[in-house]
Structure 1
């Protein structure tokens, strides 16, 4: 009895409830090793080089990328499926991967597009986002993360032709399954060579309720590593759009593309004013050398931190 009284007194002093004291501590998100992300990018480059120089929809480089990503996830114990769809007279593919466990009625989903344009291998756009979420997924297994919410990943096909793969996926879901997805985070270009640190604006026109909360979690994760951010209106140009249209809260991060970096942004982030964030956007020079490792590392760490916070 004296032990119970002492515990109660201690809880009163600290302001902690008995339920909080009994709850297990939530494991901290791992620090993502950027070398692992870079190794995934090297694989995407190798696939493109061996398949006509690109990983575009309907081309062998895209299917080879799909098969390789799926093999890595299968080996890590994910439940995977390849969803096929037709567009422009060619077959496209999405990879969907579910991590074991968690509340199936409360799904957190992360996604990135896996296709490139036909003109190049697409290593920043969007090998970077694809490789980042792949490494985060693999670290869930490596750290034996046990989320309370169910976690799902998607690698989308034919984004470059109009968000075709992600739209096909959302369209394939029954209404009840759509309602189970409580958050979708998108990562499209996270290693831009003249990088910025943008977070999707949760108040952008068409953003569902709950999107601001996701935006704020991403901002907080950047702030925790002392990186300043700016909000960006993506204007439906990436794969979050299909989820937002279905009423699913969305956000994401972006290192910049074919926009010109300002002097004010250089003061905040470094880099070169008056140049694109990605000078090789949609060009043949979007190769492994078109990546800023620091930006890639920071975005990957933010992805992991935000996922651990949301899912645990």
Structure 2
């Protein structure tokens, strides 16, 4: 998350009945769709990813900023995890401020490719620290969801696509590069973009973690599955976090895509004591927060992908 800026309900599964009589098979009417609930993601998955990201930063002068070995290791790790889970993975490399950065785009190869539900998180940190909450937490939550989708052999109605953006900390460069390089008409195929930036905050100063959703004015109703998830957990969320377009959703919004997102901050004035500092390491992350975010993402993606 930059200084200026501040995911599944039921899936319908069609079943066709068949009848075999004297060696002949007849197709019957489709049975009513069966609701498939999203799997429950435990803390083990996202925290394992965060531990890996921290190891990359530790071997790279405590940073995963673009141009560093820590960022390169992060990109390679994200690619390997997604590929192993059966996702179709592509990369985009670009240069900003004299340094090379990379976007990783992963697509679950099922569902209608003309109706895409996309979720994203930035994979870089600032130079000053390892960026485990900002934004290793978003990356870890999405990777946990990618594995859950694979393990469930999900066959959604819509296509699911994840983006892991480089150079967000330089001004949302990676997401802007992706959107600006979409072929003509491709942006219109994205029904929704969900952004996840800083979803691992710990309680500070005696205050509980303040969960927030992006403002309804730009979410266009996309906040409903997030609200239902947190409500079922007895958690009140701030449904009007005004990000002032200070994260990766901005490029999508400007291209006419409906956007929203979730963050474990109450407001832009409460980003955490270790925000953009060397202490944004594993001790700066609450495993409960990352786990809640991972499951909230699952609830939303499962629901919106139909």
- Report the CA distance between 1:24 and its aligned residue: 2.1
So what's the TM-score if we normalise by structure 1?
A: 0.84
Provide the secondary structure at the position in 2 that maps to 1:106.
Answer: strand
Q: Which residue does 2:287 correspond to in 1?
A: 293
Q: Which residue does 2:22 correspond to in 1?
A: none
Q: Which residue does 1:52 correspond to in 2?
A: 61
Q: Which residue does 1:7 correspond to in 2?
A: none
**2:152 matches 1:158:** no
- Report the CA distance between 1:120 and its aligned residue: 0.6
Structure whose residues are more often strand by fraction: 2
Q: Tell me which of the two structures has the higher relative contact order, counting C-alpha pairs closer than 8 angstroms and 6 or more residues apart.
A: 2
Q: Which runs of 5+ in 1 are unaligned?
A: 1-18, 261-275
User: Following the alignment from structure 1 to structure 2, what is the Cα–Cα distance between the partners of residues 23 and 185?
Assistant: 30
Q: Which residue does 1:244 correspond to in 2?
A: 253
Find the partner of 2:158 among 149, 172, 187: 149
Residues 171-198 of structure 1: per-residue CA shift (max 9 Å, x gap): 0002311110000000000011122110
- Give the aligned length: 272
Assess, with a 3 A threshold, how the Cα gap between structure 1 residues 51 and 300 changes in structure 2: closer, same or farther.
same
Q: Which residue does 1:223 correspond to in 2?
A: 231
State which drifts further: 222-231 or 64-73: 222-231
Q: Which residue does 1:138 correspond to in 2?
A: 147
User: Following the alignment from structure 1 to structure 2, what is the Cα–Cα distance between the partners of residues 175 and 223?
Assistant: 39
Structure whose residues are more often helix by fraction: 1
- Report the CA distance between 1:26 and its aligned residue: 2.5
Q: Which runs of 5+ in 2 are unaligned?
A: 1-28, 204-208
Aligned ranges 1:255-266 → 2 under 5 Å: 255-256=264-265, 259-260=268-269
Provide the secondary structure at the position in 2 that maps to 1:284.
Answer: coil
Q: Which residue does 1:201 correspond to in 2?
A: 215
Aligned ranges 1:75-224 → 2 under 5 Å: 75-194=84-203, 195-203=209-217, 207=218, 211-224=219-232
Cα RMSD of the aligned pairs, angstroms, is 1.5
